[in-house]
Structures are given as structure tokens and as C-alpha cells.
């Protein structure tokens, strides 16, 4: 495959080997479902790695001359300055591969051994725009849907980068999308376009930030607002104000668990009574690898595994693992799925927020009203044979 964009169509510049190598890497990454490609200069050679299902794999090694040509090729395609090698740069490439629209975000970083390039692959077709396909248990999905059926207030999603928060948000907006509702988003970047929804991209250089964008959105009478991320007190305060004045607001925060989001808002400087009245609930999320269906095998759980899963007694317990095959590159895993923790802010929980309770206390109270911890959600998915105990342990701790 030779990638052609308006930037390269009329140029007969780079050498053929570099073009073939660069384009081949991009095509291979897209086909194997990789989320990013890392091209890293080493002391003597350069290393290319790809991240598949959240794990980095070494893909190839190349000499530094070829690597530099590959980097130049990528920078040309991305509209970056190939002469500038001492400062970090960003660029993007849009392409069509097997009739799929793929967006690539490229960033360069000058390391002491040369330029390191990371290519993020945003495959629009990969987003499942249906909440039913996001691995919520039926109980958690019902709990989650109740959070936003109030029609106003703020619903938060938490988890580290790459935990599938954006996918859940898009699926939620797709469900709420109708001609009677004015839905506006402000995102960094806009990863997926949904018809009927007004999406705004953050542009820090031009002064369009989450906070300033949100203030402009509020002047346009929205019903539902999706704010990509709450990073500052200013953004948090504006979002809470919007939630308290009849808008339904969705956003994300970086905390380890659902209860942590309520605590974080207070720590950021929002008055506890505002958090208690605006916050409808929180979903914490993590991605784990799914056992490969092609090499899935049953085995008898050992004592340690049974203890973790709280299954006591002498009866045998069957668990599953992937034994490794060609389809999963010998890893035993293919694709990923989400673990969730849904915490509705029921009236009984509000007084704990007002009293600045710690995360553990808050969540223990929430459990009385149906909240299920992420660990328990993971255990359920292990017992059903969807994922392994190792994956859950790694995601939860």
C-alpha cells in the first residue's frame, strides 16, 4: 500500500524503501487493530513497537538511516516540518483503508538519540455506539441509565487514559440523540463524529479551552453537554453550575474509583453542598483483555484463585484461559472488554458527601443501594469465562 494524500500526490521525493516501510507499518497497525505505533531511536538501531489490546509488542528493528527516512515520510504525510528535529511537533493524517476512515495523530519528541515518533490510530469504525455492547452487566446498565434519566445534573466517568471512557460517553450520547434535544460537546480531540450533535474541538492556542468553550456552549441553550475532561477548578465550577441550572452534563475525571470522583471535586475546591446536589452518579471503568475464543480452554481453579473469588468448599471450580494460538499471536487474549463500577448518588449518599467522607465510607454506603465494586464486576466476568483473573487483578490493583 502506498498512502496518497494531497500532501504527497505530486511529490516524487523520498526513497522507495522508506515509503514502503512507513506505509506498510501503518497498514499493518490498522489491520491488526493496534492503537498506536512507536518508532524509537536506540543507540545503534531503531525499534518499532505497536500497542495491541493495551500491550506493546516489538514489531520490527531497522537501521537508523532507514528509520530517519521513515520518520521523514511520516512527517511529510502529517504536514509536519521535516527540517525541524529539535522541537516536539504534532500532525495528523487522514486516510482510507479497506473503506475504513482512519485518523492518525502524530507526535514527535526529540530524544538524545534522535527523534521519537508516536502515531495514534483513531479508527472511527471501531467505536461501538451501543451501550448494550459495552459489557455492562444488566444490573449495572440499568443503574447507569437511571443516572441520566433525571434530565439534569452531572454524570462523571472516571478511569485512567485508555480505559474506554470516551467510548461509553459516545454510546450514551448516541442513545440520547434525538431531534428534540440540543446536544453539544467540547472535546480534545473530537474522536468520533455523531450526526445531529454539535461537536467542538478544544484549541488551546486559539484560546478555546474546556472552560471557555463550555461558557460559550451555555449561551446556546443546550439540553445535554459532554465535556471531554475536567482538568481545572474553573472547568469543574462551570460544569457544576450548568448541571444545577437544568442541563444534563457528562464529563470525565482521572480517579481510581467511582467514589474518588466525589472526593476529587471537593478537593479541587467545589463546595460539598454543590457536589452533593449536582452529582447524579459516577461510573469508573477499566479495560481488560478478553480470552481468545479460538484457543479458550477450561481448567480447574487452584486454592489461591478460589480464595480470591470467594468460592469456598471442596467443590471444583472451572475457570478459563487462552492457551495461545495464531489468531491471538500466542498471547491467549483477543480484543478487550470493560469492567465497570457504577455509583449512583442516592439521597442517603449526599450527607456523606456533605460530611466530606472518605472514598471507602462513601462506596460502602453506595453498596447498600446496589453499587457493585469494580473488583466484584471483574470476578463475575472471570466466572463467566470472558476474561482471566490475572487481567482483573492487574486492572483493579
211/334 with CB nearer Zn ion: 334
| CB-CB contact of 373 with 362 (8 Å) | no
Task: With CA atoms as reference, report the closest residue to 53 among 79, 78, 34, 77.
Answer: 34
247/296 with CB nearer Zn ion: 296
7/294 with CB nearer Zn ion: 294
Min dist. Cβ of residue 391 to Zn ion (A): 15
Positive/negative CA dihedral, 143, 148, 151, 157: positive
Min dist. Cβ of residue 296 to Zn ion (A): 8
114/385 with CB nearer Zn ion: 385
Cell 455523531 belongs to which residue? Answer: 194
294/306 with CB nearer Zn ion: 294
152/331 with CB nearer Zn ion: 331
Min dist. Cβ of residue 32 to Zn ion (A): 14
Strand residues in the chain grouped as ranges (E): 36-41, 45-52, 55-63, 89-97, 100-111, 114-123, 153-158, 183-187, 198-201, 224-227, 248-253, 279-291, 296-300, 318-322, 333-344
Rounded to 5 degrees, φ, ψ at 114 are 130, -175
275/292 with CB nearer Zn ion: 292
Min dist. Cβ of residue 211 to Zn ion (A): 46
Residue 262 has which C-alpha cell?
466525589
136/320 with CB nearer Zn ion: 320
Min dist. Cβ of residue 386 to Zn ion (A): 14
Kindly give the pairing relationship between strand 333-344 and strand 36-41.
unpaired
- CA trace torsion 57, 58, 59, 60 (10° rounding): 170
CA distance linking residue 320 with residue 291, whole number of Å: 8
Element spanning 243, H or E: helix 233-244
Which residue is at the shortest CB distance from Zn ion? 292
CA distance linking residue 294 with residue 320, whole number of Å: 12
Min dist. Cβ of residue 345 to Zn ion (A): 41
Residue 186 burial class via C-beta count within 10 angstroms: exposed 0-12, middle 13-18, buried 19 and up: buried
Binding residues vs Zn ion (CB under 5 A)? 292, 294-295, 322, 325, 327-328
Min dist. Cβ of residue 142 to Zn ion (A): 33
Min dist. Cβ of residue 394 to Zn ion (A): 19
Q: Is the peptide bond preceding residue 189 cis, with omega within 30 degrees of 0? A: yes
Return left, alpha or beta for 105; rule: phi > 0 is left, psi -120 to 50 is alpha, else beta: beta
CA distance linking residue 20 with residue 30, whole number of Å: 15
48/328 with CB nearer Zn ion: 328
70/295 with CB nearer Zn ion: 295
315/326 with CB nearer Zn ion: 326
Residue 327 is given by DSSP the state: G
Min dist. Cβ of residue 294 to Zn ion (A): 4
Residue 163 is given by DSSP the state: S
CA distance linking residue 173 with residue 184, whole number of Å: 10
Min dist. Cβ of residue 323 to Zn ion (A): 7
Min dist. Cβ of residue 11 to Zn ion (A): 42
Amino acid at each position: 500500500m502506498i498512502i496518497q494524500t494531497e500532501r504527497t500526490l505530486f511529490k516524487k521525493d523520498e526513497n522507495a524503501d522508506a515509503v514502503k516501510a512507513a506505509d506498510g507499518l501503518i497498514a499493518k497497525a490498522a489491520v491488526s487493530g493496534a492503537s498506536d505505533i512507536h518508532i524509537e531511536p536506540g543507540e545503534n538501531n531503531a525499534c518499532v513497537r505497536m500497542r495491541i489490546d493495551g500491550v506493546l509488542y516489538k514489531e520490527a528493528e531497522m537501521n537508523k538511516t532507514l528509520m530517519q527516512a521513515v520518520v521523514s515520510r511520516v512527517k511529510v504525510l502529517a504536514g509536519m516540518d521535516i527540517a525541524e528535529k529539535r522541537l516536539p511537533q504534532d500532525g495528523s493524517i487522514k486516510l482510507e483503508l479497506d473503506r475504513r476512515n482512519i485518523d492518525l495523530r502524530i507526535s514527535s519528541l526529540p530524544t538524545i538519540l534522535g527523534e521519537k515518533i508516536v502515531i495514534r490510530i483513531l479508527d472511527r469504525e471501531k467505536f461501538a455506539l451501543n451501550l448494550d455492547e459495552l459489557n455492562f452487566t444488566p444490573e449495572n446498565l440499568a443503574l447507569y441509565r437511571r443516572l441520566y434519566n433525571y434530565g439534569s445534573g452531572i454524570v462523571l466517568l472516571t478511569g485512567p487514559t485508555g480505559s474506554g471512557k470516551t467510548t461509553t460517553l459516545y454510546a450514551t450520547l448516541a442513545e440520547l440523540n434525538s431531534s428534540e434535544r440540543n446536544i453539544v460537546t467540547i472535546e480534545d480531540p473530537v474522536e468520533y463524529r455523531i450526526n445531529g450533535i454539535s461537536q467542538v474541538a478544544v484549541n488551546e492556542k486559539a484560546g478555546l479551552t474546556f472552560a471557555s468553550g463550555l461558557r460559550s456552549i451555555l449561551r446556546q441553550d443546550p439540553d445535554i453537554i459532554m465535556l471531554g475532561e475536567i482538568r481545572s477548578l474553573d472547568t469543574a465550577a462551570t460544569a457544576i453550575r450548568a448541571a444545577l441550572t437544568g442541563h444534563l452534563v457528562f464529563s470525565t475525571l482521572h480517579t481510581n474509583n467511582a467514589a474518588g470522583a466525589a472526593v476529587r471535586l471537593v478537593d479541587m475546591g467545589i463546595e460539598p453542598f454543590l457536589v452533593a446536589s449536582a452529582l447524579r452518579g459516577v461510573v469508573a471503568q477499566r479495560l481488560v483483555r478478553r480470552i481468545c475464543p479460538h484457543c479458550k480452554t477450561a481448567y480447574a481453579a487452584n486454592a489461591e484463585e478460589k480464595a480470591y473469588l470467594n468460592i469456598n468448599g471442596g467443590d471444583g471450580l472451572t475457570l478459563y484461559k487462552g492457551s495461545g494460538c495464531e489468531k491471538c499471536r500466542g498471547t491467549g487474549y483477543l480484543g478487550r472488554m470493560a469492567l465497570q463500577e457504577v455509583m449512583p448518588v442516592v439521597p442517603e449518599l449526599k450527607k456523606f458527601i456533605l460530611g466530606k467522607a472518605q472514598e471507602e465510607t462513601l462506596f460502602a454506603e453506595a453498596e447498600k443501594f446496589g453499587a457493585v465494586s469494580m473488583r466484584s464486576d471483574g470476578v463475575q466476568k472471570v466466572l463467566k469465562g470472558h476474561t482471566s483473573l490475572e487481567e482483573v487483578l492487574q486492572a483493579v490493583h
